[in-house]
């Protein structure tokens, strides 16, 4: 029986593997404007430092740092989206992989209300959810356009918590901004850092993570 508590997931790196979609789009956008190759490790370094949850903003920052300060933010967004979404369903978003194992979300939904709080636009959330888990019923989804202030601000978590004021809320995320958002909202935080990311695991613990696991598929063991 569900106890009224909310289990809230970030999306990128938690529910969806995005190294060949969002991260690849960042690198491809930077290359388009500068000719430079930016490694996945460099992109993750920015994200782990916090403040770069928005991939459009991160791509613009990288392009500017390389010396192309005349490139405007709208130009970055337009190029990024053309690469990510494509024109005929052939964009980088098609390279995403779903991370939760079959049966995990249905089991969790028996005890918890399930929600998503992500920096993705809603249209891109819908594409991925309809592709991989159309049968899952989410109790709340908070997208980028639903909040006045993005992570690390806690606005999205506050909106979800307001749906069940007496319930507990646990946020599952994979970067510093997720952890800071949870702390600001007074929510429990479970961090995700793969085995080859010991520095990230320590950063998440330093930011207040109650547990750090290697995959969302380990979540049942720490709830």
Is the pLDDT reported for residue 56 higher than 90? yes
* Candidate from 40-54, 120-134, 177-191 with smallest mean pLDDT: 40-54
pTM over cut 0.85: yes
Whether 179 contacts 206, CB under 8 Å: no
Distance CA 6, CA 171 (A): 8
* Candidate from 47-56, 101-110, 127-136, 188-197 with smallest mean pLDDT: 47-56
129 with 28, same domain: the answer is no
pLDDT of residue 88: 79
Taking residues 133-160, what's their average pLDDT?
Answer: 96
163 with 116, same domain: the answer is yes
Q: How many CA atoms lie within 13 A of 129 on its CB side?
A: 21
Q: What is the DSSP string of 17-37?
A: E-TTTHHHHHHHHHHHHH---
147 with 215, same domain: the answer is yes
Residue 57 lies in a domain: yes
133 with 205, same domain: the answer is yes
Residue 196 lies in a domain: yes
Q: What angle do CA 37, 176, 210 make, to 5 degrees?
A: 140
Taking residues 188-212, what's their average pLDDT?
Answer: 95
Residue 49 lies in a domain: yes
Taking residues 183-201, what's their average pLDDT?
Answer: 94
**What backbone phi and psi angles, to 5 degrees, belong to 129?**
-65, -40
The whole domain housing 75 covers: 22-94
pLDDT-above-70 percentage for the chain: 99
Domain boundary among 69, 94, 119: 94
Structure tokens at 4: 């009224």
Taking residues 126-149, what's their average pLDDT?
Answer: 96
User: What domain count does the chain have?
Assistant: 2
Residue 47 lies in a domain: yes
Domain boundary among 94, 127, 151: 94
102 with 210, same domain: the answer is yes
* Candidate from 38-42, 136-140, 169-173, 216-220 with smallest mean pLDDT: 38-42
pLDDT of residue 167: 81
Residue 1 lies in a domain: no
Distance CA 47, CA 12 (A): 12
102 with 68, same domain: the answer is no
62 with 157, same domain: the answer is no
Residue 59 lies in a domain: yes
107 with 203, same domain: the answer is yes
70 with 155, same domain: the answer is no
pLDDT of residue 110: 93
Taking residues 182-194, what's their average pLDDT?
Answer: 96
Taking residues 81-87, what's their average pLDDT?
Answer: 93
CA dihedral (151, 209, 128, 40) positive or negative: positive
82 with 105, same domain: the answer is no
47 with 90, same domain: the answer is yes
Distance CA 209, CA 223 (A): 13
164 with 190, same domain: the answer is yes
pLDDT of residue 1: 61
Tokens 């190759």 identify what position? 37
Domain boundary among 94, 119, 152: 94
Residue 30 lies in a domain: yes
Distance CA 116, CA 9 (A): 5
**What backbone phi and psi angles, to 5 degrees, belong to 117?**
-130, 110
Tokens 């300060």 identify what position? 69
């Amino acid at each position: 029986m569900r106890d009224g508590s909310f289990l809230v997931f970030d999306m990128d790196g938690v529910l969806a593997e995005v190294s060949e979609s969002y991260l690849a789009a960042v690198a491809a956008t930077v290359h388009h404007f500068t000719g430079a190759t930016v490694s996945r490790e460099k992109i993750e370094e920015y994200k782990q430092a916090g403040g770069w949850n928005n991939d459009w903003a991160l791509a613009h920052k990288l392009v500017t740092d390389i010396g192309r300060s005349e490139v405007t933010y709208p130009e970055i967004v337009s190029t990024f989206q053309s690469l990510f979404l494509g024109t005929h369903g052939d964009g980088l978003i098609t390279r995403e992989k779903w991370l939760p194992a079959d049966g995990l979300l249905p089991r969790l939904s028996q005890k918890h209300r399930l929600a998503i709080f992500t920096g993705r636009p809603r249209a891109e959330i819908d594409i991925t959810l309809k592709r991989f888990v159309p049968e899952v019923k989410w109790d709340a989804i908070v997208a980028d356009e639903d909040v006045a202030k993005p992570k690390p601000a806690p606005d999205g978590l506050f909106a979800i918590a307001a749906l069940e004021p007496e319930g507990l809320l646990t946020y599952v995320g994979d970067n510093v901004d997720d952890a800071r958002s949870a702390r600001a909202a007074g929510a429990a935080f479970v961090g995700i850092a793969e085995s080859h990311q010991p520095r990230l695991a320590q950063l998440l613990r330093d930011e207040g993570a109650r547990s750090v696991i290697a995959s969302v598929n380990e979540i049942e063991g720490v709830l």
